[in-house]
Chains A and B, each alone.
Chain A
Amino acid sequence: MTAPSTNTAKPATGLASLLKTALINALVALVLFSLMVGIRTEAGSDGQLTYWTRFGELASLVAVVFGGSIVIELLRQWIGPTGAERLVPPAVQSGMSLIGRYLTPALLIFTVLVPVIFYDQRYILDLAILVLTYVMLGWGLNVVVGLAGLLDLGYVAFYAVGAYSYGLLATNFGWSFWICLPLAGILAAFWGVLLGFPVLRLRGDYLAIVTLAFGEIIRLVIINWQSLTGGPNGVSGIPRPSFFGIPLDNSDDGFAARLGIEYSPTHRIVFLFYLILALALLTNWVTIRLRRLPIGRAWEALREDEVACRALGINTTTTKLTAFATGAMFGGFAGAFFATRQGFISPESFTFQESALVLAIVVLGGMGSQLGVALAALAMIGGFELFRGLETYRMLVFGMAMVLIMIWRPRGLIGHRAPTVYLTKAQAISSDLVKEGHG
């Protein structure tokens, strides 16, 4: 059970070192918890300070930490060499890549069949639509963060621009969804370029802060521009999408009546499901295509080394702007879909938390990996619903699951990078070599 000794890490095997680590951890826990748990203080009846000790609880907590660190250390040694960058042995990795080859088509077929399998389960269909919305947002943000390496914390701004574009155009001018959808994308892309210009010179943390601010600015403008956006009241009565002109309701020229079948409100849900699936797959297809085009390679090169890009005659300004615009456009599409699905939008839907969630999906999925982002969206949105039964502990369990995943796969679920062009054989590139970009 001893780990194979590697030249990279100290081969910390042996019982002594195991106990030593556990003892240190337990000591730290003792210091931390002695005040937090061990001594309990409260204001007495006359306002004086009363306290009592809870050494029993303290001892059990320290014991849990002691035992837990031994178990974790054993697990680490069992999984792979301690201290090594990757905790998953190569055999498992290659096995997973084999699974990965069949995972994509299997997942796709399953996704297409979801409305058929769960036709009667409205809850699952709604959840699936939500997951797919986040898959699309994740894929859109992946262009900016994963490919171009520009850390964008204000992605929700483009989601909002898309949603309000459709909401306002449809309620004020009565334009149909299918005209507004491209318009929403174009407007969001326009705002992406607008954001891009001032932040081009910024990198890393500074870029992240400005994009975060941009997201908040858009939200505040929406709240305060009452005459246009309705302020905190939002926009209501947004038209539902039609099946290319045929309304999906129980009217005489509705979808059901025309087909001669009985009307069911599920028709609309199923239609929405396939709509967002189509939009998400479009995002995926375009991204995969773009990666193999010079612009996509320039994005990745920009993430790897901006100075070298300039030395090769690549216009880094337009390259960054196109990345922003492309990502924003997909955000805008998703926003328009969100508006038509909800029928009501308000600034509350476009808080920083949404940006953070989408970014978490991209990072958890493995930056740049399409499949990884889809799996991460499923895990984040679906997983969160899965823990609903845990009530108060939901966030705690969810947080722990995230930490475990990040320990297990520090570069995301799918961290390796697939080359965009090859002579003889496409080899996955280890995540150790791929840069994360610095703005």
Chain B
Amino acid sequence: MSGDKTGDKILGVDRLTMRFGGIVAVQDLSFAAERKKITALIGPNGAGKTTVFNCITGFYKPTGGAIRLTHDDGRVIALERLNDFRIAKQAKVARTFQNIRLFPGMTALENLMVAQHNALMRASGFTLLGLVGAPVYRDAEKRAIDLATEWLRRVNLLDRADDAAGNFAYGDQRRLEIARAMCTEPALLCLDEPAAGLNARESAALSELLLSIRDELGTSILLIEHDMSVVMEISDHIVVMDHGVKIAEGTPREVRDDPKVIAAYLGADEEEAVAVMESGT
């Protein structure tokens, strides 16, 4: 039961640096995400949060530093050495995007089936068994549909399973994208601003969904979010970035009261921020 002990890291980011030409987007960033916990990465616009995400999920190759993913069984994977689709396939890291990237011309169900591509490919004998209609594949497909149905039910979109994803309302698309990421059965779920563009009611539903993913399925979550009501409510641990470096980390309460964080968000000096904070409370 090593997986349950506190302080068990699933993701360790060590001195991560990412440069684009002369611009340093992320510099010497180190933080850790705990297993079966929700870790939030926050910071003002342009702080480098999405860059960190892209490094973790393989869309960028980091200039320097190490990203280590530790699986439940103790396997350690160096994410900075894997590229692109292998991070999702082998390391089991799933992600969503800041600007939703569903397959708009495919139905909700099809979107979730595509997410189970690798498992289904194996079951279809890399297409050959599937082409002749082998029962092995048919069973696997049925299970895949069941899993997809289960997720559609969880995100409350079951009655729209056969509608094109492009026809969905914004909030529904956000939830479908999370369901699609979860259908890859990830160890770590990375969400890039999942609450962006949602109204208060939808945000509350999203918080509930993310908490249920953590508590019922034990999936670790790393999220970038600007909506502080969501971040403060669900996060177990918060890392604050500004200008590519980490400026604070801790529990929601600790971060909320950190003058450096407030200064970063208000764009003011630390002393001023302390003054503002004190006069405000």
A residues adjacent to B (C-beta < 8 A): 286, 289-290, 293-295, 297-298, 300-301, 303-305, 307-316, 322, 417, 419-427, 429-430, 433-435
Contacts and interface: CB of A to CB of B under 8 A. Distances in A.
B229 interface: no
Contact of A295 (B97, B127, B180): B127
Given A293-B131, A294-B113, A301-B103, 17 more contacts: A297-B117, A300-B106, A300-B110, A303-B105, A305-B102, A308-B102, A310-B59, A313-B118, A314-B114, A316-B84, A419-B107, A419-B162, A421-B113, A421-B145, A422-B107, A422-B109, A422-B162
A82 B20 CA distance: 48
Contacts of A435: 104-105
Contacts of B127: 290, 293-295, 322
B30 interface: no
22 contacts: A286-B131, A293-B131, A297-B106, A297-B114, A300-B103, A301-B106, A304-B104, A305-B101, A305-B103, A310-B59, A311-B59, A312-B180, A314-B118, A420-B113, A421-B109, A422-B109, A422-B161, A423-B158, A427-B164, A429-B105, A429-B106, A433-B166
A146 B135 CA distance: 29
Interface centre among A289, A300, A301, A316 (most CB of B within 10 A): A301
Contacts of B102: 305, 308
Interface of B: 57-59, 84-89, 94-95, 97, 101-107, 109-110, 113-118, 120-121, 124, 127, 130-131, 137, 141, 145, 149, 158, 161-164, 166-167, 180-181, 184
A297 B95 CA distance: 20
Contacts of A417: 105
Contacts of B101: 305, 307-308, 311
A425 B161 CA distance: 9
B114 A298 contact: yes
Given A293-B131, A304-B105, A423 B162 contact: yes
B117 A298 contact: yes
Nearest to B101: A308
B161 A423 contact: yes
B160 to A, nearest CB: 10
A430 B167 CA distance: 10
Nearest to B163: A427
A311 B120 CA distance: 17
Contacts of A310: 58-59, 84-85, 88
A309 B97 CA distance: 12
B161 A314 contact: no
A425 B117 contact: no
A325 to B, nearest CB: 11
Contacts of A434: 104-105
A426 B163 CA distance: 9
A290 B101 CA distance: 24
A326 to B, nearest CB: 10
Given A308-B101, A311-B97, A313-B88, A297 B113 contact: yes
Given A421-B145, A435-B104, A316 B85 contact: yes
B130 A293 contact: yes
Nearest to A296: B127
A420 B36 CA distance: 35
A312 B106 contact: no
Contacts of B162: 419, 422-427
A305 B58 CA distance: 17
A421 B131 contact: no
Given A293-B130, A310-B85, A313-B118, A423 B109 contact: yes
Contacts of B109: 419, 421-423
Contact of A315 (B85, B145, B166, B181): B85
A430 B114 contact: no
A294 B120 contact: yes
A424 B107 CA distance: 12
A293 B161 contact: no
